[in-house]
Structure 1
Amino acid sequence: MALNLGNHGFSDALVILGAAGLVIPAFARFRISPVIGFILVGILVGPAGLGTLVPQAPWLYYLTISDPHSIEPFAEFGIILLLFSIGLELSLKRLWAMRQLVFGLGAFELLGSAAIIGVGLHLLGQAWAGSIGLGLALALSSTALVLPLVGTASRVGRPAFAMLLFEDLALVPIIFALGAMAPTASAAGLGGLWTVLLRGMIAVAILFAAGRFVLPRLFAQAARTKSPELFLAASLLVVIVASLITTAAGLSPIVGALLAGLLIAETEYAREVEVMTEPFKGLALGVFLLTVGMQLDLRLVAANWPGLLAAIVGVMLVKSVVTTALLKVNGTRTGTAAEAGILMSSPSETTLIVLGVATQAGLILTTTSAFWTTVTAIGLTITPLLAKAGQGIARRIDRQERIADPEVDADRPGTVIIGFGRVGRTVADMLKVHGKTFVAVDADIDGVNAARRDGYPVIFGDVARSELVDRLRLGHADALILTMDDPVLTVNLARRVRAWVPSLPIIARARDATHAAELYKAGVTDAVPETLESSLQLSEAVLVDIGVAMGPVIASIHEKRDEMRQQIKAEASLDREPRIRRLRRTDEVS
């Protein structure tokens, strides 16, 4: 019986949404990056994957997308929502707090990489207009991949976040500039360029005026209805109207989507809009990356692998060298600079957006865009591998450059502090006040060297290695203090040390009461839950501020602390079933 293949739009929607909702969680289960998962699934169900088998097996039509043009609306929809979510995350206050890193380091990294790549492409025969577009596109790095890999507070995450923030902000002028160059690329001349610029300025002025006077009233009315659906509809209405205005001005609709996000971010309703549209953010990125995978033809990749390999290596080499050099000039350790440079070297999901704008503007040919789209998709796929490689290179560099470790008294090492972040340094300061000797251990080489410059005796090393723990001579120590922000490692280390040194006082930082109970079972002398201590400090501040005498307040706080510790210890003694698996799951989720 012949299958009805007429309603292809509905079938394509089912394939895309089904892949996003059902297939991608399988990648998360096996701890594979969702971005890689989206691209691989896109390759599988796309026109160059199983879609090629539809003539031989018609039933595959309902599981694949065989028409390349049918995915274009989905790609544009995903891009618009992605740009809106990026704009919604930005704000003037956030930029001002990081202005030196963002507009200094970030600007030099983007413009320096773009200039070198653009000049190189021009020397290879690309026209100047296309070289500018390609240089700016390929200089971008992946916010969606880099930040989940390193966070925003780590030694690599801090500079990476600043550079990525500038790149996200620079999308507006980049897209605007490339769109404004379209008339010159289509022989409209300099007059056409000025016409588009004038229209664009008018459109932006209208949007900012509307953001200042209309948006607050619109969202106020939506908020008064107390209807989440109406609030969401108002948010999407702003995106659509902003996109239509920029389109009417001759610019891309995604410029309007990003501006809509920026304008809403400056209102008091930004948090509510962000919460309401959060489900769309992951779906938008997923749809966009699925369409990226669908555009890849593995047979063409295999046939043109020398050129693709040269392009990938060339772009990554330029970006990694520029980023590493800038970080070194900025005072960053060589290992950290190298790791950040390697991690930031691949192109971005926003590279595809800029490539699309450059193609629409006539700055580059469709075939050129397809080639660099393939390069970008491959670069996105291997970014997690680059992160692993960067970490290994950074460790080797740090081992070669690290400052000599302080001498540890084999007979009297004093108090040993493992983990020398904010908590560890505070403990060390208090030990100094009371004249107690100590030595600390930390795996962050930048933090270790900074602490040594401040006069703290800190050893660089990973306490997961038993030989380092043996070197600390804990059998002669006064006490062991565990302040690491790793619940599983803290429990394992406490259990190992307690087995070796039964009488050593072990004081450990705990995330919460559950973690504290697990630490007590592992043999610590005292576990200090962060959540409980913060609640006690809050209670103390409240009681003092409302007029209760300091003496009774302190006494009651100490009494409550002892009561909670006894409860946790009792729980630990009653519940002998290990909870390490639950702690590990909690750590992975956080």
Structure 2
Amino acid sequence: MAGEVVAHAAEAAHHGVDLVPIVALLAAGTIAVPIFKRVGLGSVLGYLAAGLLLGPSGFGLISDPASVLATAEMGVVLFLFIIGLEMEPSRLWALRKQIFGLGVIQVGICGALLTGVGVLLGFAPIVAFVFGMGFVLTSTAIVMQILGERGELATEGGQKMVSILLLEDLAIVPLLAVVALLAPSTGDVSLLTRLISIGVALGAVLLLIFLGRRIMNPFFSLLAQAKVREVMTAAALLVVLGAALLFQVSGLSMAMGAFLAGVLLSTSTFKHQLEADVEPFRGLLLGLFFLAVGMSLDLDVVGANWQIIAMSVVAYMLVKATAIYVIARVLRSGHGEALERAVLMGQGGEFAFVLYTTAAASGLIDGPTNAIFTATVIVSMVLTPFAMIGLRYLIPKTVQSMDGIETAEGLSGRVLIIGFGRFGQIASQPLLAQRYSVSIIDNDTEMIRAAAQIGFKVYYGDGTRLDILRAAGAGSADLILVCTNEKTQTTRIVELLRDEFPLARVMARAFDRVHAIELVQAGVDYQKRELFDSAVTFGGEAIRLMGADEQQIEDVLEGVKARDRERFELQLNGEDWRTGGQLLLSNARDQAREGGVSVGKDEAEAAASRSAQPVQGS
């Protein structure tokens, strides 16, 4: 009987969907990526390593990486659509000098230099041109992923890199056209045929612009009236993949079609809805893309041609990185910014695979040469996260200028404020209004200069150092306010004050409930969570707009504060919040009845249950 069940299961698996590769891909991604991120190597390298293990060069669970890569390229398409949504036409126009200035300069110079490197390595000039121009196209996915993880997309340096990446993505279109022109002729191609191809491509661009400006908004408005979420999700994918298909059949880049569709919808009222609908697919498929790239790395080809691949990787990455650094410095970027751009953009990218595959299909390069080129790009992509780790030791640490800044020395105010950001500035005003002598220290020189412009005297000093606390007058202060915005920093200062200045009364800014409990246990006389009062006031205004009168608002807010105090005491004493659950539930019911608020029993119980639970961010 058991044998029959196994046989039936095997037969079902044979005729049905083979789940082994799917499960293997999901398992590889969910296991490798967290591990690599935890050790500081980044998610991209985690995907590449997992793909290498799953592919023909590893365990061989997936024997046809090309088929996976073809599907996974949709991740790059969706990724560029998301980028396009963030690039409003006005923003693109503002970046035009960087895109068509800096971008063209970098692509042109790097392309010429890398073509020369290819010739020196022994490739024919046309083959060297294809190799070099493919390597010029930096991995948009890797760079954007790293910039996004580090929160640097909106910085000036990040914007320059994004502009260059956009130009490189645009460059794939003329490069594919050049490859088609350089391909060995298989027959007479008339001028009329070429003109028709150019006309079709321009027509596709114009058609997409028309659809984006005239049709898509009414289309989504009509679908929104149906109020069916899955229909909106399907429509979002239809727009992205439809634009990609339109450009593909017109001989253009699918990714550029998706990017243009995103730009056209960037000013739409449905922009955020589209982004939310596409984002889960984008993340999964982009991860699948990196897995597929890792699987595509043929170790047999690498082993048989390791000398030329090693020389190519070293030569191309060094030449490209050096050129990028020199260009950045000539155009007046700082050393640190130029070095970071050179290292981050020194690798080849995913569009190189498109260019090399097209060149192989047209007969410009043969299969083994295509494999060498592809392996070179993949190895460069794998090395990039390691290069970024090494970069940390090369970029000089930013040294704050102390011009016009006074250090904390011999201060003796009755009140000492440590940290003068948004919280500290507001907290200081009642003290100053009462004319108490207040000493203020902070370790941000730019903030100190800004404060001086509006009449505040702030001294430079690091509150986590005992000698600075003594120099700032902590030993003689009646009250010390710790208003720093870093949890660990605040706790460290409070512990120093408790141990070294036990007579001083200490008030501290808490980040959340857990931090507030930590500060109370560290010995503060008073703590306040930075967003609690403003959030309670905000909620009060919300129920006012919903029709509550003044007495109801007062009762409701007092109930919220009372339950928060009770919950805080329970957690502070190490008790499970559930031990006081019945009390909190009873209070919520009483509040609902006495306040005249129209809340049912079940709703009151649910609300009290939720409010009783210890939430990290509250």
For Structure 1 versus Structure 2, the TM-score category normalised by the shorter chain is 0.7 to 0.9
1:282 deviates by 1.6
Contact 1:49 1:297 in 2 (8 A): no
Kindly indicate whether the alpha-carbon contact (under 8 Å) linking 1:142 and 1:347 is maintained by their aligned counterparts in 2: no
Residue 49 (structure 1) aligned with residue 51 (structure 2): no
Letter of the structure 2 residue corresponding to residue 513 of structure 1: R
Aligned residue for 1:581? none
How big is the shift at 1:354?
4.5
* Matched residue, 1:515: 515
Q: Distance in 2 between matches of 1:498 and 1:190?
A: 85
Matched, 1:40 2:49: yes
Q: Tell me the secondary structure at the aligned position of residue 438 of structure 1.
A: strand
Q: Of the two, which has the highest radius of gyration? A: 2
Displacement of 1:475 after TM fit?
3.0
Q: Tell me which residue corresponds to 1:56.
A: none
Q: Deviations over 1:497-528 (max 9, x none)?
A: 32332233444333333433333333333333
Gaps of 5+ in 1: 52-63, 578-584
What aligned pairs does 1:43-442 form with structure 2 within 5 A after superposition?
43-51=52-60, 64-66=61-63, 70-91=64-85, 94=88, 96=90, 100=94, 102-105=95-98, 108-124=101-117, 125=119, 126-127=125-126, 130=130, 133-134=133-134, 136-138=136-138, 142-152=142-152, 158-167=155-164, 169-170=166-167, 173-186=170-183, 194-298=195-299, 301=302, 303-304=306-307, 305-323=310-328, 326=331, 329=332, 335=336, 337=337, 340-341=340-341, 344-347=344-347, 351-357=349-355, 359-360=357-358, 365=365, 370-371=371-372, 373-394=374-395, 396-399=396-399, 406-412=406-412, 421-424=421-424, 436-442=438-444
Q: Structure 1: which amino acid aligns with 2:530? A: E
Q: Which deviates more, 557-566 or 309-318?
A: 557-566
Q: What letter matches 1:273 in structure 2?
A: L
Q: Which amino acid aligns with 2:159?
A: A
Measured after TM superposition, the shift of residue 482 of structure 1 is 2.9
TM-aligned CA deviation for residue 453 of structure 1: 8.7
2:584 match: none
Structure 2 CA distance for aligned equivalents of residues 273 and 121 of structure 1: 39
* 1:574 maps to amino acid: N
Paired residue secondary structure (1:179): helix
Q: Which residue of 1 aligns with 2:569?
A: 570
What is the rounded CA distance, in whole Å, between the counterparts of 2:560 and 2:411 in structure 1?
A: 35
The DSSP-based 3-state class of the residue aligned with 2:482 is: strand
Equivalent-residue separation in structure 2 for 1:376 and 1:448 (angstroms)? 47
Deviations 1:47-78 (A, max 9, x none): 22233xxxxxxxxxxxx223xxx322321222
1:228, 1:86 → 2: CA distance?
23
The two structures have a TM-score, normalised by structure 2, of: 0.72
Could you tell me whether the CA contact under 8 Å between 2:176 and 2:355 is conserved in 1? Answer: yes
CA distance in 2, matches of 1:375, 1:471: 58
CA positional deviation for 1:428: 6.9
SS at match of 2:347: coil
Instruction: For residue 155 of structure 2, give the secondary structure of its aligned residue in structure 1.
Output: helix
Distance 2:346 2:468 in 1: 36
The reply to whether residue 535 of structure 1 matches residue 535 of structure 2 is: yes
- Conserved in 2, the CA contact under 8 Å of 1:431 and 1:438? no
Residues 276 and 548 of structure 1: CA distance in aligned 2, closer, same or farther (over 3 Å):
closer
Rounded to whole Å, the distance in 2 between the matches of 1:388 and 1:417 is: 37
Q: Deviations over 1:35-55 (max 9, x none)?
A: 21110011112122233xxxx
- The alignment partner of 1:398 has SS state of coil
Select the residue among 31, 46, 49 that pairs with 1:26.
31
**Aligned-partner Cα distance in 2 for 1:104–1:419:** 40
Flag the 1:386–1:92 CA change in 2: closer, same or farther, 3 A. closer
**Which residue is 1:61 aligned to?**
none
Q: Deviations over 1:116-171 (max 9, x none)?
A: 31121233335496378336403868344322442148xxx612431344245446
The whole-number CA distance in structure 1 between the counterparts of 2:344 and 2:428 is 35
Q: Secondary structure at the match of 1:437?
A: strand
Shift of 1:437: 3.1
State the partner residue of 1:59.
none
Equivalent residue runs for 1:569-588 within 5 Å: 570-571=569-570, 573-575=572-574
Secondary structure of the equivalent of 1:479? strand
Q: CA deviation at 1:402?
A: 6.3
Percent identity of the aligned residues? 21
Partner of 1:502, secondary structure, is: coil
Tell me, which stretches of 5 or more residues in structure 2 are unaligned? Answer: 1-9, 120-124, 577-614
Residues 251 and 566 of structure 1: CA distance in aligned 2, closer, same or farther (over 3 Å) = closer
Q: Confirm or deny: 8 A CA contact 1:338 1:390 kept in the other structure.
A: no
Q: Aligned pair in 2 of structure 1 residues 540, 73: CA closer, same or farther (>3 Å)?
A: same
CA distance in 1, matches of 2:216, 2:280: 22
SS in 1 for 2:531: helix
Cα offset, 1:246, TM superposition? 1.6
Asked if structure 2 preserves the Cα contact closer than 8 Å seen for 1:252 and 1:357, the reply is no
SS of the equivalent of 1:508 reads strand
Distance 2:148 2:374 in 1: 23
Aligned residue for 2:591?
none
Distance in 1 (CA, whole Å) between partners of 2:451 and 2:193 is 59
SS of equivalent residue, structure 2 residue 475: helix
Distance 1:258 1:239 in 2: 9
Contact 2:82–2:275 at 8 Å: present in 1 too?
yes
Distance 1:18 1:560, change over 3 A: same
Is 1:495 equivalent to 2:495 in the alignment?
Answer: yes
- What is the identity, as a one-letter code, of the residue corresponding to 1:119? A
State the distance in 1 between where 2:504 and 2:192 align: 81
Q: Return the TM-score normalized by structure 1.
A: 0.74
Whether the 8 Å CA contact 2:139–2:350 is kept in 1: the answer is no
Q: Secondary structure at the match of 1:113?
A: helix
Contact 2:508 2:526 in 1 (8 A): yes
How large is the RMSD of aligned CA atoms in angstroms? 4.7
* 8 A Cα contact 1:246 1:253, kept in partner: yes
Distance across 2 between alignment mates of 1:359 and 1:219: 37
Task: Show CA shifts across 1:464-505 (max 9, x none).
Answer: 677766775643455242332x43443344334323322334
Name the CA shift for 1:196/1:480 in 2 (closer, same or farther; >3 Å). farther
Distance 1:339 1:164 in 2: 12
Q: Which amino acid aligns with 2:533?
A: E
Check conservation: 2:442, 2:458, Cα contact below 8 A. Answer: yes
Decide which moves more: 540-549 or 290-299: 540-549
Cα 1:306–1:352 change in 2 (3 A) is same
